[in-house]
Amino acid sequence: MDNQALAERLKYQRQLKGLSQEELSHRTNVAVRTIQRIEKAEVNPHLNTVKLLAVALEVEVSDLLPLDNPKEETIKKKWLLLLHAIPLLGIFIPLCNVLLPLFIWIHKREDNPIYDKHGVKVINFQITVLLLAVLSFVSLLTIEKWGFIIFITTLPICVGVVIFNIIYVLQKERCYYPLSIPFLKFKPGRFSKVIALLLLMVTFSQCATVDNNTIQRLDGSRISNDSIAQKINVLAKEGNVQGMAIAVFNDKQPVYKNTLGFKNLPERLTLTDSTNIYGASLSKAVFSVLVMKLVENNVIDLDTPLESYLPKKLYEYKPLTRWHDHYADLKEDSLYHKITARMCLAHTTGFANWRFVEPDQKLKVNGEPGTKYSYSGEGFVYLQVVLEKLTGKGLEQLAKEYIFDPLRMTKTSYQWQPAFESDFAYGHTMNGRIYRKDKDNEPRGGSTLETTADDYIKFLTAVLNHQLISEKSTNQMFSPQVKIHSLTQFGEGSNITTDTYRDIKLSYALGWGYLETPHGKGVFKGGHGNGFQHFSILFPESGKGVLIMSNSDNAEGIYQRLLEYILADSSIPWEWLGYVPYK
């Protein structure tokens, strides 16, 4: 293989298509470093790597690499040896004697006809072995004496045939498998590949083990990781989403992770799962778990008025922050003293979302606390300030002690850290411009979380598995506290009463939204800030869930189509959330 010729052709074709090395890497899953080394003629890449690059660039293999037959490579005995020897694992892992050679055959059969020919013979023999194993077991149960002999001799004979062929193929590059039933026939071309894929699907459908390359949806159906990736890529491109990270949970564990796009589009800097992302209101989910931990430790009670925990009125304390612990406005308020931790977490304090949205920009309680849902970041901050004065510890210290350190969330904080400077995401406007990064926020439990996709996945995994708080506390946190009757969460619709969401019993729990679906209850939490749009939903009973984090003002436009595809459920109240699908 002429490395220099390949390097020049690859670089020419890539630049002709207007792609950066990072973009080509994203299209092919070939590492950026590998592409760089190929373009410098430092490596002799595998033929399959060249094929991937050719497909991504929409050119023929011959446009990158002049070969008499681009589909063929020199026969490598290591692949023949692996093809014939790997079925021996079936002795220890059921069905691997068929599935593993089938996988190798599909992967290598187009590289050289000998792989195709040997693969067909191995697979035919191993399927025959499975049938013989079943028949020998039946004979053991039905035929006296001879049934036992048939049963104990079948496996050694089959293993002997495999060992014979391992030696034979190394010496002669030939194989011989007697008594094989010809389920597959050696016939080069696409048709036999289709047969192989169908056989793979049938085999897996009969197998009791779970395919690690699929995820199970709420209705029990399964979709492949590849189809999810394809759906994400299509929607992100159509919806003009600059960057996004996504995780899917099955059985209380993350079973699919994907990160795509850019942390800085103008500079073409790639977003990764370790890139710092502003969490916005995902902060509230973390803070809610922290509060429930302090409830478990008897530091605070959910239903005791918060004012009663302090030796003096909250408005009598000297403010320590620029604005969020200034409570002089409450001196003349006759209702705030009724507010409890439960009301803060359930958004029923009567506070506005933030004091600066009030006409006079002063903090006040609008209506009887505990009676009506009204989303409020101020309620979370009010609870935070009381906890800080009660414990003598700041929010960041409490979060590190009870959440970040136990889960090793080393790149998460309620305030900007110098360590984040080397890898953080800018928020993007709808047209792809970047917002100025806000780095001077003081810690607030409802809004200032800085985290990464990887760290927040750790958090949601811990919540599903009761690693931070007990199952009893988790159930309490996920129990509905107040029914929601508004048309939308924010804006004019928040003052319009409706029964649109009665069927899903839309409510708010403690720090999380609540709904009920045909597949069990779900709890959700979103986050929204300039250039950042996030959404997470968990189904605690089945252990399923999805996390989406994005640094794009366009992201919410694709959430409905994406989540309905991944979850196979349409219960999420998109209109109430205000997530308008892109057009």
Q: Are residues 262 and 342 in the same domain?
A: yes
CA–CA–CA angle 62, 65, 69 (5° rounding) = 60
Considering the domain architecture, whether residues 156 and 48 belong to the same structural domain is answered as no
Instruction: Say how far apart CA 525 and CA 508 lie, in whole Å.
Output: 10
Assess if residue 540 is contained within a domain. Answer: yes
> Domain boundary at 158, 181, 201, which?
201
> Tell me, what DSSP letter sits at residue 402?
I
Burial class (CB in 10 A: 0-12, 13-18, 19+), 19: middle
At 336, which CATH number? 3.40.710.10
Residue 47 lies in a domain: yes
Domain assignment present for 574 = no
For tokens 């800018």, the residue is 426
226 in any annotated domain:
no
Q: Could you say which of 201, 222, 249 is where a domain stops? A: 201
Return the amino acid letter for 400.
K
Residue 167: inside a domain, yes or no? yes
Q: Is 548 inside any structural domain?
A: yes
Q: What is the 3-state secondary structure (H, E, C) of 477-513?
A: HCCCCEECCECCCCCHHHHCECCCCCCCCCEECCCCE
For residues 457 and 511, membership in a common domain is answered with: yes
Q: Residue 108: what pLDDT?
A: 78
Residues 513 and 536 grouped into a single domain: yes
Are residues 58 and 80 part of one domain?
no
Tell me how far the alpha carbon of residue 51 is from its chain's centroid.
28
Residue identified by tokens 């496996």 is 155
The domain boundary, picked from 201, 216, 248, lies at 201
The dihedrals phi and psi of 74, each to the nearest 5 degrees, come to: -60, 140
Query: Do 415 and 561 share a structural domain?
Result: yes
- DSSP character at residue 132: H
DSSP structure class, residue 420 = G
Q: What is the DSSP letter of 360?
A: T
And the tokens for 413?
A: 């904080």
So what's the pLDDT on residue 140?
75
Kindly state whether residue 171 falls inside one of the protein's structural domains.
yes
**What's the domain range around 470?**
232-567
Residue 186 to residue 7: CA distance in whole angstroms: 36
Residue type, 16: L
Whether residue 37 is found in the same domain as residue 98? no
d(C-alpha 521, C-alpha 514), whole Å: 7
Q: φ, ψ for residue 133 (rounded to 5)?
A: -65, -40
Q: In whole angstroms, what is the distance from residue 30 CA to residue 52 CA?
A: 8
pLDDT, averaged per 10 consecutive residues of the chain (583 residues), comes to 75 82 82 84 80 80 60 60 88 87 82 81 90 84 76 88 88 84 65 45 42 85 93 95 98 96 97 97 98 98 97 95 96 96 98 96 96 97 98 98 98 97 97 96 97 98 98 98 96 94 97 96 97 98 97 97 95 94 82
> How many angstroms from the chain centroid is the CA of residue 550?
12
On whether both 132 and 237 belong to a single domain, the answer is: no
Domain count, the chain: 3
Q: Kindly state whether residues 193 and 281 are assigned to the same domain.
A: no
What phi, psi does 527 have (nearest 5°)? Answer: -155, 140
Residues 401 and 548 in one domain: yes
DSSP H helices in 143-223 = 146-172, 190-206
Q: Are 150 and 267 within one domain?
A: no
Tally of CB atoms within 10 A around 564: 15
Distances in whole angstroms, Cα of residue 246 to Cα of each of 294, 330, 558: 30, 42, 13
Identify the CATH number of the domain in which residue 44 sits: 1.10.260.40
The H or E element that residue 547 is part of is strand 544-550
Give the Cα separation of 405 and 409 in Å (integer): 6
Q: What is the pLDDT of residue 440?
A: 93
Query: Could you write out the DSSP letters of every residue in 444-474?
Result: -TTT-EEE-HHHHHHHHHHHHTTSSS-HHHH
Residues 133 and 270 in one domain: no
Q: Quick count: other Cβ atoms within 10 Å of Cβ 277?
A: 29
- The answer to the question of residue 224 being in a domain is no
